Structure 1
Amino acid sequence: MDLKKIHNIYFIGIGGIGMSAIARYFKASGKQVSGYDKTQTDITNSLQDLGITVCFEDAMANVEGCYLDSESTLVVYTPAVPKSHLQLTYFKNNGFTVLKRSEILGLITEHTFCLAVAGTHGKTTTTSILGHLLNECNVKLTAFLGGISENYNSNLILNGDKVSVVEADEFDRSFLTLSPDMACITSMDADHLDIYGDASELIKTFEDFTRKLKPNGKLFVKNGLPLNGITYGIEDDADYTAQNIRIENGAYVFDVKTPETVLKDFKFNLPGRHNLSNALVALAMSIEYGISGPQLVAALASYLGVKRRFTYQIKTDDLVFIDDYAHHPEEINAVHQAVREMYPKDKVVAVFQPHLFSRTKDFAVEFGKSLSQFDEVILLDIYPARELPIEGVTSEWLLSLIDNENKKLVSKTDLISSIKQSSAKIVLTIGAGDIGVEVAKIKKALINED
């Protein structure tokens, strides 16, 4: 497909974090952009502020109002949209070119030098670090992020078309539409078993992804993964290693051992060894691309993070409120490690909203163990997203698997009062559902309490 011949682009699910980045890209490219989403959010509001038409009702009148025709219009949809969606069905039955988000991302990046970040955890943070490093070092790039960068207040970094940085999503095998020049794999823990069936099939698909690299492409893999490539690790025997790690004024300071030399005194402001690992592979990819050590030292020090990735909402001597997107047991373990490293003597209350019935069912025991590590646990009902309930899979069941006397299940209505009843200094909200909508309310209530 020649995207230059496309004038109109309609997005079904335009408010999604990945979809909205592509919508911003095409709007900046001079295309007529419009779309549908079921819910009005800060993201859809920001798209409308750019002049993008967004409708919130699955009705044909909305489509017809966008003056779309099959010859000059491309339709992009997210796999999260049900197949029965009225607009999606209309476009498929009336001669329109209809592509998944991952397919259009493959088309956008195929003629660029593409750096792709894959893995069941760490994709968004790693992609945003990598995009920031290259942008700060004056590389002409476009970076599509799976979260809102604190540095750019956007999920798109747009500074040229020579290089592309993309989050390579394993959900629905989406990343197999990419053909990167460089790629990294941060992790391959079992996830999305509603798609893959079992962990072995997920690993096989990651192996398929490695074969999508262009000739002479470079693959970076976290040390210990069963893949061949340039390895990286924290204080590890790997090609790229973070060593001499210390904490100064709440930030990591560390050296990077490369295959040729040691680069000293990098400063990184995000807590947690998992985030340090993400920074390390972003540095490794940047070095292999050709960026010098001194440039990268300055660039990393200015990195501020991604919203809802260990984001401080309140940070005082008496109270700390942190919000994080963690929705898998290993991600919760990583957040726990980060909190304990930064606040080893303080009491922590974790507020968790499970995401998806299938994920809760598949990892219930692991969720129980990861949540049991906190001093207190407040559990919300499962956020269904695209799924229907599964019999017996409830938050009451998950609560019974948490080995902690200080645990309770609450409704959103009672959430703030339950948090206020806690004596914990550290309040942590975690989950990938609409718990993020509650964060501003919690913050306001806690500040007013002070």
Structure 2
Amino acid sequence: MASAIPTAMERPHFIGIGGAGMSGIAKILAQRGAEVAGSDAKESATAEALRALGATVHIGHAAGHLADDATCVVVSSAIRADNPELTRAAELSVPVVHRSDALASLMGGLRAIAVAGTHGKTTTTSMLAVALTELGLDPSYAIGGDLEGPGTNARHGEGDIFVAEADESDRSFQKYDPEVAIVLNVELDHHANYASMDEIYDSFETFVGKVRPGGTLVIAADQPGAVELTQRVRDLSSLNVVTYGESGTADVRVHKVTPRGLTSEVTVVLNGKFLTFTVSVPGRHYAHNAVAALAAGVALGIPAHNLASALGKYTGVKRRLQLKGEAKGVQVIDSYAHHPTEMTADLEAMRGAAADARLLVVFQPHLFSRTQELGKEMGQALALADLSVVLDIYPAREDPVPGVTSELIIDAARAAGATVTAVHDKETVPDVVAGMAAPGDLVLTMGAGDVTDLGPAILARLSN
């Protein structure tokens, strides 16, 4: 089994080390014994966790943060070319390594499972990490979110399995050569990098084509984009294709999903036999994620009944319908959903889990490019809520686009019959929500930006 540190990674410097993807790689390298250093824009629990593993973490970006003896500089696609540490790396002739290449090097020699798809990657990767750990297989994993159980997004294990979230946003998932690839869905997103669905399909085809000879593709049988991709890759002679879903032709067929409050009971048909297990998060889409994880584990030779039982130990990922607390009879739940399909799925899941409750959503759009292309669909998704508060767009790595504001979403939501309040000052949201909420209501903070910080503030305001 390979767990040595690649020579180029012996003294890595991460620019943006606190990011979900970057911090995971840094943690694994630190656990393997590398001298990890890096910088991030602000202090965070992630920075403290890295320091606890022996990493040096600087706050702010400056050329002097890069040590002269660094063996490489690791960057993500979000790092701008004028970053002072990147400039210093060029002056010192220190190799610059993309995050995906660093992760690929860590997976070398291991039985890798790469989880891809427009939505659901973090949840499915987490389910596998928890289940394989529960079975005593001690996997390594790199996830785009923190597990509720172990409380981390990455770990170096002594087993021979590596589970990784495979990011399609910048085509970086094409760097991996997994034994098992999961494709949950294929939709148009990341509009700054993809101009059309044809480009998306080409990118996913390249990813699937990298599966090791004799390896397996686990892919959804119900989602149109996944079905199209399946047709495109069926002729790859060295690839085993396993479909899952509610379709009667699925290899692993979802027979029934039964809501049980904030959990679900899932029954599948696998090799002609019925198998029932519990998923500790609500909603049909999360149940399907669990079935994808089950199919991937079986492809590695793990007994299905053992996996099914172990999947029941999964308790969630932070920001994926995470209960933040309750005050004055109002529950506050956090959702990472930022694409219309994800928004609809989470809102429908909450409707199914608490059909008699009013649903109040605080939504923060993520990225100008995404809002420009999908603002109408986001607004239509918000019509599933009883009341919505819509914030200004969280820019992340993008510059503003003239004429693109959250009003695009608000107008579409109102046209779909939704009751929407626009709030431009995020700090006033707790007061606004407190004025709307009543005992028995559910408040859902939703988006991929810093809207997650509002959950505790809303609970505090309700308590007072």
Q: What TM-score range do you get, normalising by the shorter chain?
A: over 0.9
Q: Cα offset for 1:14?
A: 0.2
Identity among equivalent pairs (%): 34
Give structure 1 stretches of 5+ with no counterpart.
none
TM-score (norm 2): 0.91
Higher mean Cα deviation, 153-162 or 368-377?
153-162
* 3-state DSSP of counterpart to 1:364: helix
Match for 1:242 among 254, 258, 268?
254
Q: CA deviation digits over 1:5-33, x for unaligned, max 9?
A: 64311101100001101111111111111
Match for 2:307 among 296, 318, 321?
296
Give structure 2 stretches of 5+ with no counterpart.
235-240
* 3-state DSSP of counterpart to 1:311: strand
1:61 paired with 2:75, answer no
* 3-state DSSP of counterpart to 1:232: strand
CA contact (8 A) 2:385 2:418 kept: no
Matches within 5 A, 1:287-366: 287-314=298-325, 318-366=329-377
CA contact (8 A) 2:321 2:335 kept: yes
Equivalents in 2 of 1:285, 1:257: separation in Å? 15
CA contact (8 A) 1:382 1:394 kept: yes
Match for 1:9 among 5, 12, 24?
12
CA contact (8 A) 2:8 2:72 kept: no
Q: CA deviation digits over 1:244-275, x for unaligned, max 9?
A: 332345421222211x2324330111101110
1:408 paired with 2:433, answer no
When the two chains are superposed, the root-mean-square deviation of aligned CA atoms in Å is: 1.8
Q: Which residue of 2 aligns with 1:284?
A: 295
Q: CA deviation digits over 1:408-445, x for unaligned, max 9?
A: 11121210011101135010010001112222222332
For the structure 1 residues 59 and 443, does the alpha-carbon distance in structure 2 shift closer, same or farther, using more than 3 Å as the test?
A: same
Aligned length: 442
Higher mean Cα deviation, 9-18 or 285-294?
285-294
Q: Which residue of 2 aligns with 1:417?
A: 431
Q: Which residue of 1 aligns with 2:387?
A: 376
Q: Which residue of 2 aligns with 1:18?
A: 21
Q: Cα offset for 1:300?
A: 1.5
Equivalents in 2 of 1:293, 1:59: separation in Å? 51
Q: Cα offset for 1:92?
A: 2.7
Equivalents in 2 of 1:219, 1:315: separation in Å? 41
Q: CA deviation digits over 1:71-124, x for unaligned, max 9?
A: xx1211111011111111221342212101001111111211111100010000
Matches within 5 A, 1:125-144: 125-144=123-142
1:165 paired with 2:163, answer yes
Q: Cα offset for 1:321?
A: 1.3
Letter in 2 for 1:408: T
Higher mean Cα deviation, 289-298 or 116-125?
289-298
Equivalents in 2 of 1:416, 1:422: separation in Å? 10
Q: Cα offset for 1:203?
A: 1.6
CA contact (8 A) 2:283 2:345 kept: yes
Q: Cα offset for 1:202?
A: 1.1
1:441 paired with 2:438, answer no
Q: Which residue of 1 aligns with 2:147?
A: 149
* 3-state DSSP of counterpart to 1:146: coil
TM-score (norm 1): 0.94
For the structure 1 residues 136 and 319, does the alpha-carbon distance in structure 2 shift closer, same or farther, using more than 3 Å as the test?
A: same
Q: CA deviation digits over 1:331-363, x for unaligned, max 9?
A: 000011101111112211110000000100010
